[in-house]
Structure 1
């Protein structure tokens, strides 16, 4: 018996070339397991960080006799097996080989499933997500949604290699603080691979974007949540830049048509789409540019100015 009251071995189990190791140090590495077992034979497989406390592991020898040799040695030794000073409890496993069943999230693909921990859906805009993940390659499409796991996003790249680079670089990291509302203390990205290969994006909205199709229609209803910015801890609205502008037209005395808006907003760059709609008795329009820079220039130049002389149709 060990000093902790636990038997270091269980003799009643049928010998197996796979050994079950317990009471390992936190997140014990494969190299440490191999170092412990190497004197007794060749290790062909390991499975680390098993169990609720991630302090168990399985080690598979090339043949049964090598596993028996290890168990026999430590059963008769006055010194127990140790890793990082911790006594390791060894027993035969009821399995005869280690099989790594890859879950869908472990199989590399070109679409990433990103869980953004520590935030609500309105805290991180789709444009912030696009900015972060574009650092690793051209992002084709993004779809965001809420599930029991929290706020999530699907991010599509052109190939597996680009997606893998983004995953390896960002998994477990945080979105930079300057891109987050002031009331968000910290957020972490948990990233796996999705089984999807091509996202079906039907509308450009605050929840979904297709960056490969500039002619995809803008959904005014779907844009609504995006167009109402999140509120920071100081009570001020936080605006996230987008390539789509929302224009509210006040003091409207003359008709404002798509052609009129196209003429006004085309002065700053190519206008891809315009949608006019009524909301709460007011006329509003969505104007889509090919990029955020052009949209920002138009916003800065036109906000608060009039379409017609005489102060009519303030926008």
Structure 2
């Protein structure tokens, strides 16, 4: 296994971590979107600390190493940091040159604060003290997500996805998910199987207008944030929501404050996938609820369209279109 020590010694192409944090910071300076992410985190005083190399090219984009992590950027994902054991696992898998691609969020804590995760263009890496860091992707990730991520009966992943005679498999604390290569279906085995119906999992088509808009908006994951933009390739927060509803034949107002006046009010405890959720007072941000505690949103400059846990934003109200 490649370790960060090997990366620091130059054994791996990509973002090194320098020759050791004990040495003086080199004469490098973060700039552009990577610099914006670094400054937004707190610069030298943040978990990232000082830079240890110059910004440089990696497969598909740019990256820069810091004493406490690395920031990766691409035009589709924006600039996001990876750190710790998630970062090390990301390196071992090939970083941006792997199927994971670029990170879509900075590392976040999980819902019950028992671990942390990064979502990537091609999957996710979840970490906890009990399980370590492991990737989940594809249909297996979709099934795990439908069961509540790490808060569901399966808990955290305990393995990466690996081949079995039936197709692919990932193991979790509460069981395993197996993907059938012939049928495309997934099934759950182990203790967690009692929490789901025994039939193979199928995904029904979106039923409500909000769910349809959510599905449309999800096709723009990673699209760059541009203030005042409303698609089809760049968005601000209300530009994304108005564009998504427009694609299904529903026109809603352009700004977040205006959107907060249409449809019907929904209590926070009654949120369903597809509801518009508004943040801050006065309302200045909006996203589409995914049914799992997150909103799909266009957050701010330097960050692409992504899922953000509601708990990290200042909730105001919600509306159902």
TM range, normalised to the smaller chain? under 0.3
Question: Quick check: which has more Rg, 1 or 2?
Answer: 1
TM-score relative to the length of structure 2: 0.22
